[in-house]
A and B are shown apart, each in its own frame.
Chain A
Amino acid sequence: MTDPILTIKNLTVDLPEGGDRPHAVEKLSVDIAPKEIVCIVGESGSGKSITSFTTMGLLPKALKPSTGEVIFEGQDVLKLSPREHAKLRGSRMAMIFQEPMSALNPCYTVGDQIEEVFEQHTSLSKAERKAKTIKLLDEVQLPEPERIYSSYPHQLSGGQRQRIVIAIALALDPSLLIADEPTTALDLSTQAQILHLFKELREKHSAGIMFVTHDFDVVAEIADKVVVMKEGKIVEQGTAEEVLNRPKHPYTRKLIDAVPRRTGSVNAHMTEKHKVMEVLGLNKTFHTKGTMFKPSRTVHACKDINFIVHRGETLGIVGESGSGKSTLVKCLIRLEDPDSGSVIIDGSDIAQFTPKLLHPYRKSIQIVFQDPYGSLNPRRTIGDQLVEGPINFGEDRAHAMERAKKLMEIVRLEQDALYRYPAQFSGGQRQRICIARALMVEPEVLIADEAVSALDVSVQKEVLKLLNEIRDEMGLTVLFITHDLRVAAQICDNLVVMQNGEIVERGNVDEVFGHPKHDYTKKLLSAQPGQNWNVPDISKLPPVDPALLDQALNQPMGAVR
């Protein structure tokens, strides 16, 4: 094999004093060879981004690498002055960020932003720069490069913007490309295209690619080598084939086990067929007023939506961003007023109710939102927020508090959590609290609006399990809104697939995912990364090497503190 372009040897980055662990990254060693995609996998807080930032010389001031070397093209970049490092950045090493929305400057055309790289690092003439830029746009497979060249970022879609970011990174043909979760913020089909682009780049350019991600399916799709990180340390590294199919370390096994998968038919728990909620011909359009420069626009967010949910059922509503699922949810909980149609619950059509009439029915439908950080009021204790609902419906506080205590147990949190503030909890715990808050008023339908999308896989798994248990124990009906097909497949009984505000396909999970009829469903399914990877059954793998197990046991989670 050729010499590696990047060798990280024994790298340790210290966290400031009083951090939750002494080192952000500890004794990390990785090699990246040309034409190789190395995936760094780990959950949030595992130090994977710190590794890429160190290599790029973009560490926040509070963090300092204390030992080790990062050898890039024969020189240790940790010893470079900031100015020398800046010279390397963009020309020899380049980075692609997670958020294509904020990685581009909205004040300049994308053409200007790509050309800036040439301006900084080369002495090409204006015409040459433009020619090169157009060629780049072509290379990242953007349609009509000339038009894109003079567009502003806000005129492009997320996927197109990410391609621009990639084009900027590729401008000077760097020998190292660092991609930090480049597809996490994108839709499934866009993600598939971008991943495909990465694979092509590996063939065409000689660059080594460091690909930071949390998603094992993405790893399975593109990785040559995998590095699994946990709390700043490498727990396992090897070729993709090895790590994915024969993981050795218990932590890797746990992560792979947590990857959501189809778990066969789950309809068994549904015994009765009692209609809980029925949605008939629901329509919602948004009008934007025209101005002198802009024609007025009408957007059909929901077009003639019909579905029925039965007691104890989990109905998945699947679609990409802009498919109208969020608007549908807002109409169901009446945060938006539907234009026409009915939402029948308990025999009453609540779609056109006035706020006063609606009030008693609010109890019946509750919701858990996506963002665990935005959905709890930071200035009120958990208990105070939990009893809010019952108090609004006329219950007395002490009584409600009793139920809050019981619910804390159900969502597996300690009772004194009730007297704490949201900031003291992690994302997964907050999501449990949100579930408890929704359950406080004993709803019939619980809407989970992307409720697990922002969580790490292992936490995600726990929350999904909890949702399933609660549904079975309480006879709850769950509307599960998600863009993640794997999660939908794992938890839902029936599915509706939405596209552009319409339901394009419906049926049970086996029908929809096993024999999709609509083109859009087929497209979505084929865009799913990691299809060639059969997730190994962890229980059938040979037992963990006792040495590794000891190591895992010897650093209990107490070390996190």
Chain B
Amino acid sequence: MSETSITSASTEKKASAPKKQKTPVHQLSPRAKMLHRALRHKGLLFGLFVMAIIVIVALFAPLLAGHDPYSQSLLARMKPPVFLGGTWEHPLGTDALGRDYLARLVYGARISLLIGLIAATISACIGTFMGVLAGYFGGRIDLIVTFFINVRLAMPVVLVALAVVALFGGSLLVVVSVLGLLLWDRFAVVMRAATMQVRKLEYVAAAQVLGASLPRVLIKDILPNVMNHLIVIFTLEMAHAIILEAALSFLGLGVQPPTPSWGLMISEGKEMLLFESWLITIPGIALFFLVLSINMLGDGIRDVTAPEGRN
């Protein structure tokens, strides 16, 4: 027997060598392989790096700010930042009410991240739930879900958000829930398609034959295999939510002053655009880097988790 088992093992090893050149990494768990790819992915690493900085800044805002973002000082209005000839007392200068700009920027990161995360999470829950059910069951449920997706796609997001915020007032809670309830369409569409693909695979049938209950099949066999799509959409929608919040705040219908929000800072600085342009550039650059890093992170995760999706 030992001899046959040796030959069988060897032929099989050969069968495992596919004709196409594939990743050479042998005998690594999928997780180890993924890590291997992640560490070579420059975009992903860049995204992670910038993201980490912003998250750390948001978490340790009180330590880093140096000033209270709300305290006004009419004597110290419109101080320019250091690189434009200001002092180190206010490294990024002060705004029209004499509030320290660095402090507001740092606290604003909290708002942006919070809104992005919570809104995307609410959307992800709604969209994934609908998408997975539609993809798994098909038929009538699919028709209903598709109808909802179409209804949602027919609504202009910014307009609806503006209307709702105008009705209910612009608190953080309202903005987050409105965005969360509006951005689930892409989750639903992608999850539905991904679930349809996975559902056809034989391991789903095998699980059913082995007596797995429906929730078990969905949680153990479907969800983990559509997770990579979910993560990518999540990052996209998070960036989307952050930009929408900034837009709403800019229009005066988002987060209300004096809460420090990057969109609001841009909005408040817009009168001075021609005279003190740094009032807009600084929060603008922060917003740009946050959204860029989230998108690069998302692209990176897609490449790392599903390398066959590239090229």
Contact = CB atoms under 8 A, between A and B. Distances in A.
A190 to B, nearest CB: 24
Interface residues of B, number: 44
A551 B29 CA distance: 34
A560 B14 contact: yes
A375 B206 contact: yes
Given A374-B203, A421-B29, A424-B29, A335 B14 contact: no
B8 A462 contact: yes
Contact of A18 (B8, B24, B202, B205): B24
B29 A426 contact: no
Contacts, number: 147
Contacts of A359: 211
A369 B225 contact: no
B207 A388 contact: yes
A213 interface: no
Nearest to A363: B211
B12 A428 contact: yes
B71 interface: no
A49 B15 contact: no
From B205, B208, B227, name the one whose CB has the most chain A CB atoms within 10 angstroms: B205
A459 B15 contact: yes
Interface stretch (B173-181, B216-224, B230-238, B283-291): B216-224
Given A20-B17, A45-B17, A423-B30, A367 B209 contact: yes
A424 B9 CA distance: 13
A63 interface: yes
Given A374-B201, A392-B211, A458-B11, A425 B19 contact: no
Interface in A435-456: 437, 440-441, 455-456
A344 B120 CA distance: 51
Contacts of A388: 207, 210, 212, 220
Interface stretch (A120-128, A140-148, A162-170, A376-384): A376-384
B12 A459 contact: yes
A45 B19 contact: yes
Given A421-B30, A428-B8, A60 B20 contact: yes
B16 A427 contact: yes
A353 interface: no
From A379, A437, A440, A556, name the one whose CB has the most chain B CB atoms within 10 angstroms: A379
Contacts of B213: 392
A111 B28 CA distance: 49
A424 B27 contact: yes
Contacts of A19: 21, 24
Contacts of A412: 5, 8
A547 interface: no
Given A428-B12, A459-B15, A378 B207 contact: no
B10 interface: yes
Nearest to B13: A560
A60 B4 CA distance: 36
Contacts of B309: none
Nearest to B221: A377
B21 A366 contact: no
Contact of A45 (B18, B28, B211, B221): B18
B225 A377 contact: yes
Interface in A21-42: 21, 24
B310 interface: no
B13 to A, nearest CB: 5
B26 interface: yes
Interface in B84-102: none
Interface in B121-138: none
Nearest to A465: B4
Nearest to A376: B203
Contacts of A489: none
Given A20-B24, A366-B210, A459-B8, A377 B17 contact: no
Interface string A386-429: 00110011000000000000000000100000001101111111
B12 A426 contact: yes
B15 A426 contact: yes
B15 A362 contact: no
Given A377-B224, A421-B29, A425-B16, A369 B210 contact: no
A393 B5 contact: no
A231 B21 contact: no
A412 B9 CA distance: 9
Contact of A15 (B5, B7, B11, B21): B21
Given A44-B15, A369-B206, 17 more contacts: A18-B24, A18-B25, A19-B21, A359-B211, A365-B209, A366-B209, A370-B202, A375-B201, A380-B220, A392-B212, A392-B216, A423-B30, A427-B16, A440-B210, A458-B8, A462-B4, A557-B10
5 contacts: A20-B17, A375-B201, A375-B203, A377-B220, A557-B13
Interface of B: 4-21, 24-30, 33, 201-203, 205-213, 216, 220-221, 224-225, 227
